[in-house]
Chain A
Amino acid sequence: MEEAKMVTKSLFMSYSRNAPPALKDVTMDIRANSVTAFIGPSGCGKSTFLRCLNRMNDFVRDARITGRVLLDGMDIYSPEVDVTNLRRRVGMVFQRPNPFPFSIRENVAYGPKLLGARDESVIDEIVENSLRSAGLWEEARDRLNDMATSLSGGQQQRLCIARAIAVEPEVLLMDEPTSALDPIATARVEELVRELKRDYTVAIVTHNMQQAARVSDTTAFFLMGELVEYGPTDVIFTTPTDQRTEDYITGRFG
């Protein structure tokens, strides 16, 4: 079993001072080079939790967080952490593909250039490698200078994944990455997720339980801000321990 890449300890989070906590006492290990899926009904805290892992909640003005989030043992909420660098190490892919209004090549090159890459041949190499890893190279190689928006939805989402991995992150956070895609594009992204774990640690939020069952090694079930059950996906989907998990995954919830 791989060691933990990220660890949360007694994580509490609320969106404002008087709001009920969105996360209650979440303690979890996210293992390196594996896919961890977060499932649960809307409002259960799974996306909030994902966003705590690279401090996306910093953008929420009144958010309050207690507890610890460690990346390779380093507390990512400690004052000396460079948040930009943290987000390079812990990348994110969103629900809807959000390519920049540039060419395909420029979308992928954007991050590396921001980080100081200048040599065009080095950038070409990064673009090719990232597009290859995202399974988009064969489709995009002859149209690298076309606008990213000319790609199909599924291709755009894979472009966003290529853009995320172009800066060589260690962890990839995915927030319902296939919810806007058709079944074929979804299958390609799911395949990609399973391939990505060789080089990255992947955490994925999904509303599609079968997707969690298909792509993840470990599944975490959230309910009303609590981590109810967390364990090997094979176990969660055949013999869950907690009745609430059972009710949710079999669709008998509520």
Chain B
Amino acid sequence: MNRFKDKEIESLFSRIFELGSLTERALSDAIWALSHHDKDLARGVLEGDDAVDELALEINTVSFQLIARYQPVAFDLRALEACIRMALDLERITDLAVSIARVTLDLDVRIKPLRNLEPMGMRVIEMLNLAMAALLKRDVRAAENVFAMDDAVDDYEDGVFTELMEIVMATPALASGSNKLITVARILERAGDHVTNLAEQICYMIAGNRVRAAKFRRTRAEEE
């Protein structure tokens, strides 16, 4: 009976990993498409969204079925809660990737590649990969490292704003395109927040205590 339960929870985790890799793919494609003006790739991101929604829904359905059938407690209960919430966060990150792809499709001017935007996206992807690795290895320390990485994402966002400001001052005609890129920076910042949520869920699932990401982030005083 428990072997069956263990197997079903394991198979749920493998679906989370599958969702994680679809999400990573969507995000990296969205960023590549934006920086290389690749509208075909951007359309691919839009098309991939349905599969992600379906998989996230399936994870939720299966989690509820397992709760109903096994009345899980302790780690099992935390694992199922984590799966439900992680599926939601991953699905949201994919939605954000779709928003970035839409910006690419909308963008009618060519703005030179920004120094900060692509690295910002890469950083979020790195966080996502680290969170998934922490989940795979049940490694709280690795999940906690995700929190601090979000500081760098914020720095890149500031960098993007400064760069775009300079561009608009030099070429006012690029104002509308620049605005769209500011939106992208905002979107990536929110994607980073969702990855932080993932890491919080992973920590709780493994260790049983609620960690707050803020504890691992630099303080406002340090920022100044």
- Residues of A whose CB lies within 8 Å of any CB of B are 209-210, 213, 237-240, 245-246, 249-252
B6 to A, closest residue via Cβ: A252
**B residues in contact with A250, CB < 8 Å:** 2, 72-76
**A residues in contact with B182, CB < 8 Å:** none
A245 to B, closest residue via Cβ: B74
Q: B219 at interface (Cβ–Cβ under 8 A)? A: no
Q: Does the CB pair B74–A249 fall under 8 Å?
A: yes
Q: Does the CB pair A238–B72 fall under 8 Å?
A: no
A209 to B, closest residue via Cβ: B73
Nearest-neighbour CB distance to chain B for A104, whole angstroms, equals 35
A240 to B73, CA, bound (A): 9
Q: Does the CB pair A238–B77 fall under 8 Å?
A: yes
Interface string of B74-118 (1 = CB under 8 A from A): 111110000000000000000000000000000000000000000
A26 to B1, CA, bound (A): 32
**B residues in contact with A246, CB < 8 Å:** 74-75
Q: Does the CB pair A251–B78 fall under 8 Å?
A: no
Q: Does the CB pair B5–A251 fall under 8 Å?
A: yes
Q: Does the CB pair A239–B209 fall under 8 Å?
A: yes
**B residues in contact with A209, CB < 8 Å:** 73
Known: A213-B73, A250-B72. 15 other contacts (CB 8 A): A210-B71, A237-B73, A238-B73, A238-B74, A238-B77, A239-B74, A239-B78, A239-B208, A240-B74, A240-B208, A245-B74, A246-B74, A246-B75, A250-B73, A252-B2
Q: Does the CB pair A249–B2 fall under 8 Å?
A: no
B76 to A, closest residue via Cβ: A250
A238-B208, A239-B208, A239-B209 are contacts. A251–B1 as well, Cβ < 8 Å?
Answer: yes
**B residues in contact with A249, CB < 8 Å:** 73-74
Nearest-neighbour CB distance to chain A for B200, whole angstroms, equals 15
**A residues in contact with B2, CB < 8 Å:** 250-252
17 A/B residue pairs, CB under 8 Å, sorted by A: A213-B73, A237-B73, A237-B74, A238-B73, A238-B74, A238-B78, A238-B208, A239-B74, A239-B78, A239-B208, A239-B209, A240-B74, A240-B208, A250-B74, A250-B75, A251-B2, A252-B6
A250 to B76, CA, bound (A): 7
**A residues in contact with B72, CB < 8 Å:** 250
> Which of the listed residues B2, B6, B74, B78 has the most CB atoms from chain A within 10 Å of its own CB?
B74
**A residues in contact with B209, CB < 8 Å:** 239
**B residues in contact with A213, CB < 8 Å:** 73
User: For window 1-43 of chain B, which residues contact chain A by CB distance below 8 Å?
Assistant: 1-2, 5-6
**B residues in contact with A240, CB < 8 Å:** 74, 208
A213 to B71, CA, bound (A): 10
User: For window 106-153 of chain B, which residues contact chain A by CB distance below 8 Å?
Assistant: none
**B residues in contact with A251, CB < 8 Å:** 1-2, 5
B209 to A, closest residue via Cβ: A239
Nearest-neighbour CB distance to chain B for A29, whole angstroms, equals 23
Nearest-neighbour CB distance to chain B for A238, whole angstroms, equals 6
User: For window 172-224 of chain B, which residues contact chain A by CB distance below 8 Å?
Assistant: 208-209
A245 to B208, CA, bound (A): 14
**B residues in contact with A239, CB < 8 Å:** 74, 78, 208-209
**A residues in contact with B6, CB < 8 Å:** 252
**A residues in contact with B76, CB < 8 Å:** 250
Nearest-neighbour CB distance to chain B for A67, whole angstroms, equals 30
A237 to B, closest residue via Cβ: B73
Nearest-neighbour CB distance to chain A for B140, whole angstroms, equals 14
A251 to B75, CA, bound (A): 11
Nearest-neighbour CB distance to chain A for B131, whole angstroms, equals 21
**B residues in contact with A245, CB < 8 Å:** 74
B71 to A, closest residue via Cβ: A210
> Which of the listed residues A237, A238, A250 has the most CB atoms from chain B within 10 Å of its own CB?
A250
A206 to B75, CA, bound (A): 22
**A residues in contact with B5, CB < 8 Å:** 251
A188 to B75, CA, bound (A): 30
- Counting from the closest, the 7 A-B pairs by CB-CB distance are A239-B208, A251-B2, A237-B73, A249-B73, A246-B74, A250-B76, A250-B74
A252 to B2, CA, bound (A): 7
A249 to B208, CA, bound (A): 15
**A residues in contact with B77, CB < 8 Å:** 237-238
Nearest-neighbour CB distance to chain B for A47, whole angstroms, equals 22
A214 to B, closest residue via Cβ: B71
